[in-house]
Structure 1
Amino acid sequence: MKKITLLLFLLIPMAARGQYSANGILAIKEIHGGVVCDSCIVTMAGNVSGSAEKVSFLTPNLDNQFLYSDPSLTRELSTVDPSKFFVAMGRFSLDFYPYGKILVGRGEQIPYMDFKDLQFRTAVNGKLKNDWTDIVSLKNDPDFYIGHASADIRHEIKDVETTPAEHYHAGKFELLLGDSLNVAFRNKNTLADVYHFSIARVRSVPDYFNFVEFSSDKNFQDILNTEINKARTEQGPQANHFEIEGGHSAFLRFSNNEQYYFFGKIPRNSGIEYAIGKPENWQRLGGSEDIKFTQGYSYIYLDKPEPGKAVKVYLRYAHQRESVNEVTIDVKPLPGQPGWITLVQWILGVVTLALLAISIQKQRHKRQLARLNRKKNEIENQLQLLSGQLNPHFLFNSLNAVQSLIRQNAPEAANQYITDVATFMRTIMDSGRKELVSLAEELGIEEKYIALEQKRKTFTYTFRNECGNDLGSIDFPPLLLQPVIENSIRHGLAESVRNPTLTVTIRCDASDLIVAIADNGIGYDTSVKVPGHGLSLTGKRIALINEKLPAMQIVLQTKSSPGSGTTTEIRLLKWLS
């Protein structure tokens, strides 16, 4: 933040200038942590009027920017008295300043608007921000000290003492480009409108500079001493396209005096940032040192840019970084350089860039393929782990069944059951190692399991193939149905169920494969009951398969209610494509 160590003369309207002493000074300083910073003096921005029909106000801001009466930000306020104002910065305070009252207090015989009778209202883009409020109920600005001083300007102003100036803080505002703050005033006794003004934020970019081209092999200081004034474009709004000879250098020269000029008709170039080539890695013009009111210039130096190329210089203000002025400097080819050489260089450059892009794309594809392979291996390892967890779960349930047969004093049945379980375990272990089996093989495994269960519990099993396709040609995740069928037999087909029946149905719906497992058992409330270990493993397996095969999703839905049986439908989307 620049700390401009000087006090600005109070802006006096034309009607009052002849009567008010030129030694009246208004000082605005920053406040930090409730303490006034005497060296942190900022620009006196605002509109101060001695008219009895106007309300004077200040717009102090940390960007040291002024208030203007035209959207081009060039017209000084001392020559006009408008109700529409314009700013470049986005953040500022709004403080009402009773200038007429102060003039009367100093002996002036003029009418003035008494703030005790006034209320104000603010709106941004037509949306109410602050409703009618008595001005005199407001406090001082918490971020800026506003004070009066009287001094001879020939002396050091920084040593002048100040006294607090009466003012009323209406708030802090932040405007985007195109936003408009509207402030209205009324007499609180009659409710009659007495005054209004608006402040709009407009686009502002650094476009006041000298563009200087020169041919010289001298050092930088010699160029400034001998070359800088030989060929120059006068200060003013510049074109954004220039051309220089190949082998020449150029300056964009910004006047420091105009950067910090107070109330002139030339915009100030304060807070300029620039970038060369691309709008990134921005630098501050003139470096980081504070700049006072001194004669001199700041430069953007283009040292013999490459012939036949274009140089881009990007300019913006620190207080309006969203607006950028793009300046293009075309550099002509060197004299005698054939045009075909430039064309060949251009073609070679394009070919080189194309080959580089292809190489980068290949490397990117290799990295993506490596990531996909790692992900595939991780998913397959997790699927193997889950399949391994199914085998102990089935074995545990089978041992419970054997124990039940032993308790029933049926050793031969128990011995045969153990043999059948061992055979079935070998089958599911072989299938569990495979990523996919045929649907016919999966159904064969499940029918063996159902036969085992029918040895210890009486129920009817029905299989329906309504698909019409060859089930041996349809791929299917191994052992996906076993936990669902087990859940129906062990928990659904209770002894209380009459004519217990399990039905497995295969259907085809366009490219979708549907497997439905239904029982006429006791049913349950799906919103209350938590899935068992086997069904929980099945849900995890389906999630991993869906992650591995995103184009062929598996959806499991269960419908059940107490006393109405249970139907679980496994829909394999696009599985038949």
Structure 2
Amino acid sequence: MKKLFFLILLFVQSILVFSQDRHNYLIALRETQIVISNNFIIPQKTSSYKNVQFIKAPWKDQILNVYGKQLSITVSNSLIRNIAFSEIVADSTKLKQYDFENLEFQILKNNKILYSWRNIESGFSINDKTTRLQKSENLKAYKILDQILNENDVVKISFRTKGEKPFLNCIIHKVKDDKVPLVCSSIHNPNGVSLETFVEEALSHKKQINYSFYEDWPSLYSAKYEEPIVKVDEKTKIAIFYRPKNYANTKDMLEYRLLENGEPTSETWKKANDFIILHDFKPGKKYVLQVKYRGEKKYITKEFFSEPKWFQNIWLKISFFIFVITLSGFIFLILRNKRMKRLQREQKAKLQFMSAQLNPHFLFNALNSIQGLINSGNIDKSNTYLTDFSKLMRAILDFSDKDVIPLSLEIKALKHYISIEQLRFSFCFDFFIDAEISEATTEVLPMLVQPILENSMRHGISILNENGKLSFKVLKNDKDLIFEILDNGKGFQTNQKFSGKGINITKDRIALFNSSSDKVKIDYLVESNNDGTKTLIIYKNLLNND
């Protein structure tokens, strides 16, 4: 509660009339009050600007930067009523070392003793006519320092209880910060007056600026109170007035340039006296003004923005861009769809043409087989062959106008074909189909593996007769459907070219199918050695929806 009351009291005091100094830094030690006054004070060790900080002993050194020439320090036994404080550091604990009556101070300036240890009452009483401080009842207040400081001067004020070690050091640095310009004032006219009229307004305003008021302000003051980006338009005219550097001649004191959307509007920095006039802002632009003292490298910036015209609006541009992209994409999809449909029709026609080529090739081989059986006098086998052959022909006719057929019909037709060839070559045949495969709903290219079976029988196991073995399996591997044809023939070199039409037609059918199908692709793989040949026809992703 005591701390809250103390805080409220300090804020009440801070809203009273300002003293002659711009900044008053208060160190509150219970009833004892130490006031450091200067035109501008910034604590070195605090990055944020707090009105009140409560700290507890032991005290750290209070290190301050002061920018004004006049430095004064006043010590009192209670708050002085007509001083406003910009910064307050307080410890309200009741320590004996804070007692006003036993307090002593010592002042060093540039490491030389200015005042050796003495009591507070050795200073100037505030009843002195040189002060503007007003005495209240029971108030004891003494000004212990009133000095003119030069640049880089360092003043150290130490406080202690009489005869004991110092408990508080205040180290004050006199600095000067005029490396970059400081804005003293500005005028902004959005009404579209002529440039000549506005220049007259600027010159008239310049006469009213009290530049001495800003003499000791640090340039970082502008960074502390950063202004928002200023909105302008084509009619706007702005004049910005800057503090003269060391009160020297203001002619060509400044150098500046204006960036428009990040690009300089002129190749070199322009020269100006102690004020700059900006005008002729273009719509839809972002401007950055860079200003520095002539000959210096560091500069300050100020930003402006101008709203775009309706046709420059970024959302309108984005919407138009999206519309164009969408329309282009829609047209592209229509043309691509038409092209794909045309390509599919062409591929279908080619596949049907190849199927038509395959049928005569198969018929030729089948008739040669029948002729061989008749010539050998095997009438019973010839009749059986003709019966199976007629069933197979009926199936081929049914397939002739279809792109794909159910797997069940494909297997039935291939079994008829294999049974026919068994009559001639007497080989052993083994068939297997994975139970997880749906024969009725799975669709494949008609008679795609027939030339492979034919090749295995005629060129692989025909000379082995009853010792020949042919295995035909239909397998499932995840989403893939696999036809596996395995024979125990003498094998061949897999890189050799085939002179027979059947295998070449099969490869062409696969290539055409792959070029017209987006999801399902067909792989053709062959492994062959002296122990036999294994051929795989793999429909990739065919069982994706099963």
Please give the range of the TM-score, normalised by the shorter of the 2 chains: 0.3 to 0.5
The alignment's TM-score, normalised by the length of structure 2, stands at: 0.43
TM-score, with normalisation over the residues of structure 1? 0.41
Which structure's CA Rg is the greater one? 2
